Amino acid sequence: MEIEALYQKFKACKNVSTDTRKLTYGSMYFALKGENFNGNKFVTEAFNKGAKYCVIDEASASINDNCLLVEDVLTSLQELAKHHRNQFDFPIIGLTGSNGKTTTKELIYSVLSTTYNVKATKGNLNNHIGVPLTLLDFTVDLDFGIVEMGANHQKEIAFLSSISQPDYALITNFGKAHLEGFGGIEGVIKGKSELYDYVKANNKTAFINTEDNKQIEQISSYNKIVTFGSKPENDSIIDFVNADPFVKVSFNNTEIQSHLIGTYNFSNISVAIAFGNHFKVSTENIKKGIENYKPKNNRSEIIEKGSTKIILDAYNANPTSMLSALKNLIQLSADNKFLFLGDMFELGAEANIEHQAIVDFVEENFEDNIHLVGENFFDCKTKTETKKFKSFKDLKSILESLDIENSTVLIKGSRGMALERILDHI
């Protein structure tokens, strides 16, 4: 089926869906395939739940005239999203980075939506399926669209950029994430910079944090940039005030108190302020947008249990974000501190080195109450007072015996470790 014909069918639908369990009435269902599933097998269920059309790539799955046969469902989803994007007159903001993508995206949305009609990536729908779904959720009456892009290998950001075609681009940082797929930190820099490569090639605009030397190196020859940071020559001048525990910044003679912990969130907040300032959002509304945003979904959440303050940062972890969280904990004014650190995934050949580096840092800066969870941490060399647990099950056996009253607790690990389970036992 030609993409324009498919697009006309799409416009007659209320939304798109790739999962019959979440499908709503009037949807266009895309029968995606994966290693362990085949969406073509759920066409009947999709129609029973109210799908208007089903896009399939197996002729045997067709059960009526509203089954739309294409060569490849995933490719058609991506091409449809790109075609839809080409109908937009409003600008698209694209962002990627090793750490802080989702928080930064939510902050930009919170600031811009005080003044404009804005839609952004929902949750972390930021891959080769999520980005098309995000774009297909955008309507032509918007003022801005914000698209988060994630990647774990070379050329992925380039591909997602070709679909979303951002007018403005931002890379949060270059960190030690997905080292296995990117092939080391230099591979990370090259892969993430594909977003800046796109905007340069298409004469679009890059937002640059001038506090980040690695970013400055990437855009030395760009002619369309917007700068932000504490330096007086920046387009947006933003100063760090403090973070104990929540980050406070100063912009345009106005102090802004966030609900985000950690000095590492200063740059994420600065991004949102820079976008707001560039697009003429008032200082009052920028302040409102930042101060109204509260983290959720295990991302730098502050949870209080009696006299205990818990920093729950268990959505994801890599060496860069882990070290940032630990440095933040060091500077917090708390007499008793507990650490629960889970394995960091997708580090490939660097896994042993990076986990040992975290252990060395922890043991140098924290005297006790250190709890390391997961096979990678379990294999590390540690001092005798450092407690190691090969699995969460092993850790669970001692949790309820810990005296954590009047303490500050950091819980951080990769998503697969699911360390938020600790909350049920302390």
What CATH number does the domain containing 18 carry? Answer: 3.40.1390.10
**Domain check: are 136 and 279 in the same one?**
yes
Residue that terminates a domain, selected from 292, 317, 343: 292
- The whole-number pLDDT of residue 34 equals 86
**Domain check: are 277 and 141 in the same one?**
yes
**Domain check: are 247 and 130 in the same one?**
yes
Residue 308 backbone dihedrals phi, psi, to 5 degrees: -100, 130
Count Cβ neighbours within 10 Å for each residue of 34-66 and write b for 16 or more, e otherwise.
Answer: eeeeebbebbeebbebebbbbbbbbeebeeeee
- CA–CA dist 183, 181 (Å, integer): 6
Q: Is 9 exposed, middle or buried (0-12, 13-18, 19+ CB in 10 A)?
A: middle
- The whole-number pLDDT of residue 300 equals 77
**What residues are paired with 412 via a beta bridge?**
313, 341
Residue that terminates a domain, selected from 292, 325, 355: 292
The answer to whether position 325 is within a domain reads yes
- The whole-number pLDDT of residue 204 equals 94
The answer to whether position 83 is within a domain reads no
Q: Which residues contact 259 (CB under 8 A, 6 or more apart)?
A: 246, 291, 293, 294, 295, 302
**Domain check: are 162 and 235 in the same one?**
yes
The answer to whether position 78 is within a domain reads no
CATH number where 267 lies = 3.40.1190.10
**pLDDT tens readout for residues 382-420:** 887 789 999 999 999 999 889 888 999 999 999 899 999
- The whole-number pLDDT of residue 1 equals 81
CA angle 76, 7, 201 (to 5 degrees): 65
- CA–CA dist 321, 412 (Å, integer): 9
- CA–CA dist 203, 344 (Å, integer): 37
Spans of the chain below 70 pLDDT? 177-181, 218-221
- The whole-number pLDDT of residue 295 equals 85
Q: Which residues contact 366 (CB under 8 A, 6 or more apart)?
A: 337, 339
| 3-class SS string, 91-147 | CEEEEECCCCHHHHHHHHHHHHCCCCCEEECCCCCCCCCHHHHHHHHCCCCCCEEEE
Q: Which residues contact 57 (CB under 8 A, 6 or more apart)?
A: 31, 33, 40, 69, 70, 71, 72, 73, 76
- Beta-carbon count within 10 A of 351 CB: 19
Residue that terminates a domain, selected from 239, 266, 292: 292
Q: What domain count does the chain have?
A: 3
- CA–CA dist 157, 195 (Å, integer): 6
**Domain check: are 131 and 23 in the same one?**
no
The answer to whether position 31 is within a domain reads yes
**E-strand stretches of 199-351:** 205-209, 225-229, 236-243, 246-251, 254-261, 301-305, 308-313, 336-342
The answer to whether position 81 is within a domain reads no
Run of H or E including 163: helix 156-164
CATH number where 394 lies = 3.90.190.20
**Domain check: are 305 and 288 in the same one?**
no
Q: Is the Cβ–Cβ distance between 338 and 371 less than 8 Å?
A: yes
The answer to whether position 79 is within a domain reads no
- CA–CA dist 256, 290 (Å, integer): 7
- The whole-number pLDDT of residue 218 equals 66
Looking from the CA of 249 toward its CB, the CA atoms found within 13 Å total 30
- CA–CA dist 29, 39 (Å, integer): 9
**Domain check: are 113 and 240 in the same one?**
yes
The answer to whether position 52 is within a domain reads yes
The answer to whether position 80 is within a domain reads no
**Domain check: are 262 and 308 in the same one?**
no
- The whole-number pLDDT of residue 108 equals 98
Q: Which residues contact 219 (CB under 8 A, 6 or more apart)?
A: 196, 200, 206, 208, 225
211: containing domain: 88-292
What is the pairing mode between strands 254-261 and 301-305? unpaired
- CA–CA dist 60, 50 (Å, integer): 21
**Domain check: are 17 and 34 in the same one?**
yes
Token look-up 């540690």 returns: 382
**Domain check: are 256 and 400 in the same one?**
no
**Domain check: are 408 and 266 in the same one?**
no
What's the start-to-end Cα distance of the chain, in Å?
A: 57
**What residues are paired with 227 via a beta bridge?**
208
**Domain check: are 62 and 133 in the same one?**
no
Q: Is the Cβ–Cβ distance between 133 and 16 less than 8 Å?
A: yes
CA-based nearest residue to 95, from 204, 206, 187: 206
- Beta-carbon count within 10 A of 102 CB: 23
